[in-house]
Structure formats: structure tokens, C-alpha cells
Chain A
Amino acid sequence: SQQGEEDPQALSIQEGENATMNCSYKTSINNLQWYRQNSGRGLVHLILIRSNEREKHSGRLRVTLDTSKKSSSLLITASRAADTASYFCATDQGGKLIFGQGTELSVKP
């Protein structure tokens, strides 16, 4: 059962530009997490935002959460070639994390 849906599926930008990825979900959540996956590697946790939070920052990352619209966005500012990866949102459902299908980000130097 896929709870989160990322949009767009793929995104290609130039180094230095900002990248925005969106995640929509269907049922109420307690928190939402974002992860990054480099090709052929495991996922790396980026940020967790709780349902009573609207915005959270970590370095060049900014995550927003709108529970009324059941959506979240991940903004990466001043992107670098090393940011090239797939990005997944995950929501908690019945004690488990449900992952979306991901956004594939390509940052060209």
C-alpha cells in the first residue's frame, strides 16, 4: 500500500538552482520523513517533521507540511551535483513507514 505520492517523478536542474519536490498522502499522519537514496545504495534519513509543525530546516534543506492539504514539500537550495539522487517521503501508518515512489533528481554541473 503506497501512502505517499511524490511529484515530479523526475527533475533535472542546473547546479546552483533550487529543487522542489512534493509529496501527497491520503490518511492522517503523526509525522512525515524525507530520505535520500544514491544510486545502488541504501536510504539516508534527511529530516522528520511532526504533524504539529509547519516548517523545518536543516542546512540547505527546507521541509514544509500542510496537514489540511495532506501534502509536504522538500526544497533543496543552491543545489550541487552531489545532490543527484532519488528522494522519498515516508509517512507513518499503523506503526510502519510507508514510502512513496520517489523523485529522481539530477543536478547538472
Chain B
Amino acid sequence: DGGITQSPKYLFRKEGQNVTLSCEQNLNHDAMYWYRQDPGQGLRLIYYSQIVNDFQKGDIAEGYSVSREKKESFPLTVTSAQKNPTAFYLCASSAETGGHQPQHFGDGTRLSIL
């Protein structure tokens, strides 16, 4: 079964700590995305990648970093510079960028501050 796997499901961060959220897809999609979802709000784009070794900032990239060394993988690091990291983080992929393709989502990672 093709899909997107996010891990861990729950993650806790201490003050001053960087944490990395994993996202893996086996859909052979070129484009991958990271979104942040806060209660009662829609999704906000953090970073996206159109192809391997390339990525662009979204609307709320400050305090986050990404890498795209493999087509299947797009990990997100929440750095200590992100002062309000508590949120639900969603990873998605699509065959290509451009907004005209459906996006496939993982089941999210819920990040909280200890």
C-alpha cells in the first residue's frame, strides 16, 4: 500500500532543544510539503520541495529547517528558535507542485513543549 508515514505520532520538546520530525513516502512523488495546524485554524505551509536537493520556504518558515536528500524522505527540524512549536504537523506529497494535483497526507505528529 502506497502512502506517507510520519513519525513519531507524539513528540515532546524541552526548552532549547531541536527536534526532528520524520516523513517518508513510497508514492514516487516529486513534491513534498510540511504544514503546521493550530487548533481552529487551517493548514499553514512551512516548507515545500519540488525535487530532490531543492526546497523553498513557505509562509511560516522561521524557526524550522528541512532537507531533501532522498526522493522518499523530507524531514523537518523544529529548532530552538521556534518559540511556539506546540502544534499538529502534517506532511504531504503530490506528483508535482503547482496546486493542480491532489496532495496525499500523513497522519501527523503532535508536538508539545515539556
Q: How large is the interface on B (under 10, 10 to 19, 20 to 34, 35 or more residues)?
A: 20 to 34
Prevailing SS type, chain A contact patch = strand
Q: Does B103 contact A (CB under 8 A)?
A: yes
A96 close to B103 (CB less than 8 A):
no
Q: Does B98 contact A (CB under 8 A)?
A: yes
Q: Does A101 contact B (CB under 8 A)?
A: yes
Bound Cα distance A104, B44 (Å): 18
Q: Does A88 contact B (CB under 8 A)?
A: yes
Residue from A88, A96, A99 in contact with B48 in the complex, judged by beta carbons closer than 8 Å: A96
Q: Does B59 contact A (CB under 8 A)?
A: yes
Q: List 14 A-B contacts (CB under 8 A).
A: A4-B42, A30-B100, A31-B100, A33-B102, A40-B110, A45-B104, A48-B100, A48-B102, A88-B42, A88-B43, A92-B100, A97-B99, A99-B44, A101-B40
Bound Cα distance A4, B21 (Å): 28
Q: How large is the interface on A (under 10, 10 to 19, 20 to 34, 35 or more residues)?
A: 20 to 34
**Distance of B98 from chain A, by nearest CB (Å):** 5
